[in-house]
Structure 1
Amino acid sequence: MSYKDQLKPWCIVHRLPKLQNAIILRCRRRSDAEAYLRIFQANNPTASYQIVFDVTPEATANQRLILKSYPNS
Structure 2
Amino acid sequence: MTEQLSEKYQQILNPWAITRRSPNSVCSTVIARFRRRTDAEGHLQALRRTVPSLDFEVVWDAIEDRP
Judge same fold: TM > 0.5, yes or no: yes
Q: Report runs of 4+ in structure 1 exceeding 2 Å deviation.
A: none
Give RMSD over aligned pairs: 1.3
SS at match of 1:14: strand
Distance between the aligned counterparts of 2:35 and 2:29, measured in 1? 18
Provide the aligned length of Structure 1 versus Structure 2. 60
Higher RCO, 1 vs 2 (CA within 8 Å, ≥6 residues apart)? 2
TM-score for both structures, normalised by structure 2: 0.80
Identity of aligned residues (%): 32
**Distance in 2 of aligned mates of 1:56 and 1:7:** 10
List gaps (5 residues or longer) in structure 1: 61-73
**Superposition TM-score, scaled by structure 1 size:** 0.74
